Amino acid sequence: MTTIITYGTFDLFHIGHVQLLRRARALGDRLIVGCSTDEFNASKGKNSIFTFEDRVEILKACRFVDHVLPERNWEQKVVDIKEHDVDIFVIGDDWAGKFDFLTDASGCAVAYLPRTQDISSTDVRDVIKALDNEKKSSAIQSAEHLLELIKDI
Ligand code: C2G
């Protein structure tokens, strides 16, 4: 039984997350995901749109994921890897080199997978904001047009 582990925020779940989880799972028989809590996110300087509880449920619904645990701090990885008898730690290559220490610290292999281009939770958030602004300005325009019509009565 080859066990894989990865960690992340996984906010506004998108194809980049799916590809990462699919490829991570393909490296073994079981994939564990550490989902960043809202508090840990704050320490990463991130505030997610979806709550921790919702992000956990979405990950659990993903067919590549076998188990989800809370990621509360940077230090827990070594303990998690030993506790769950993890063989490979996997993460996107935006983190390349940052977790090499895990091999010496916990005896697992470390794999950095290429990030999926042109998609991020920030991009998705920006698109939603832009659509929202568009809707607001068209609502204002139609209200102004209505006011003009009323004035002319
Ligand atoms: N990812 C990806 N392609 C994207 C976006 C994200 O492959 N276009 C990967 C990231 O490299 C990461 C995972 O999806 O492996 C989750 O990404 P985030 O939710 O942004 O996680 P992050 O903020 O990088 O937190 O302790 C590790 C941290 O918790 C990682």
Q: Output the pLDDT for position 152.
A: 84
| 36 Cβ below 6 A of ligand 1 | yes
Q: Output the pLDDT for position 6.
A: 98
How many A from CA of 50 to the centre of ligand 1?
A: 15
Q: Output the pLDDT for position 153.
A: 81
Q: Going residue by residue through the chain (153 aa), what tens digit of pLDDT does each one get? A: 999 999 999 999 999 999 999 999 999 999 999 999 999 999 999 999 999 999 999 999 999 999 999 999 999 999 999 999 999 999 999 999 999 999 999 999 999 999 999 999 999 999 999 999 999 999 999 999 999 999 988
Q: How many residues does the chain have?
A: 153
How many A from CA of 133 to the centre of ligand 1?
A: 28
Distance separating the N- and C-terminal Cα atoms of the chain: 78
**In testing the pocket of ligand 1, which one of 94, 113, 119 has its CB within 8 Å of the most ligand atoms?**
94
Q: Output the pLDDT for position 89.
A: 98
Atom of ligand 1 at shortest range from CA of 46: 23
Stretch (H or E) spanning 109: strand 109-113
How does DSSP classify residue 136? H
Return d(Cα 60, Cα 70) in angstroms, integer.
Answer: 12
Q: Output the pLDDT for position 105.
A: 96
